[in-house]
């Protein structure tokens, strides 16, 4: 068991935020928080449901901006592309993953997220894909 991780949310990149919002509203989801992240040229928001997991919706602020989700939405209208965990000790987690022989490679160094008001980083795992880490 990987002790250093606590599930937080799934991340969904979308071309049209209003379509995703309408679909999730019809399932009972509501906005918890939404911000424009000018460092990445994205709008990011968390939608929550009292019985289900949170979903982060990521979209471009302006259609011609260069963003981290460009390749994801180039040929698809949306893509569920990351799973997010909270972690209190990333160094300990990296050691634990190595001991378990699990690939856990940093792909985006620690940056500040205005949505979560704390640092985040991204890793790649050949087991489950892209993992966002919320540093707590």
Q: What is the mean pLDDT of the chain?
A: 95
| Position 1 in a domain | no
Q: Which residue has the tokens 């087991």?
A: 127
| Position 85 in a domain | yes
- CATH code for position 89: 3.10.180.10
| Position 95 in a domain | yes
pTM for the structure as a whole: 0.93
Count of domains observed in the chain: 1
- Tens digits of per-residue pLDDT, 28-39? 999 999 999 998
Please answer whether residues 86 and 5 qualify as being in contact, where contact means their C-beta atoms are separated by less than 8 angstroms.
yes
| Position 17 in a domain | yes
Q: Which two tokens stand for residue 26?
A: 């019809």
| Position 23 in a domain | yes
Q: How far is Cα of residue 85 from the mean position of the Cα atoms in its chain?
A: 9
Handedness of CA 59, 4, 1, 97 (dihedral sign): positive
> Which residues constitute the domain of residue 109?
6-135
- Tens digits of per-residue pLDDT, 50-85? 999 999 999 999 989 999 999 999 999 999 999 999
| Position 66 in a domain | yes
| 10 half-sphere exposure, CB direction, 13 A CA radius | 12
Please answer whether residues 49 and 38 qualify as being in contact, where contact means their C-beta atoms are separated by less than 8 angstroms.
no
Please answer whether residues 124 and 134 qualify as being in contact, where contact means their C-beta atoms are separated by less than 8 angstroms.
no
| Position 18 in a domain | yes
| Position 114 in a domain | yes
For residue 95, the 8-state DSSP code is H
Q: How far is Cα of residue 97 from the mean position of the Cα atoms in its chain?
A: 20
Q: By three-state DSSP, how is residue 93 classified?
A: helix
């Amino acid at each position: 068991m990987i002790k250093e991780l606590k599930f937080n949310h799934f991340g969904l990149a979308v071309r049209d935020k209003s379509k995703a919002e309408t679909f999730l509203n019809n399932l009972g989801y509501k906005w918890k928080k939404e911000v424009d992240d000018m460092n990445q040229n994205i709008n990011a928001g968390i939608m929550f449901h009292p019985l289900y997991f949170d979903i982060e919706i990521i979209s471009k602020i302006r259609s011609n901006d260069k963003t981290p989700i460009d390749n994801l939405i180039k040929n698809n209208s949306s893509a569920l592309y990351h799973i997010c965990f909270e972690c209190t000790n990333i160094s300990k987690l990296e050691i634990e993953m190595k001991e378990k022989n699990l690939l856990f490679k940093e792909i985006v160094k620690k940056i500040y997220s205005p949505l979560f008001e704390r640092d985040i980083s991204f890793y790649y795992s050949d087991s489950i894909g892209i993992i966002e880490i919320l540093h707590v």
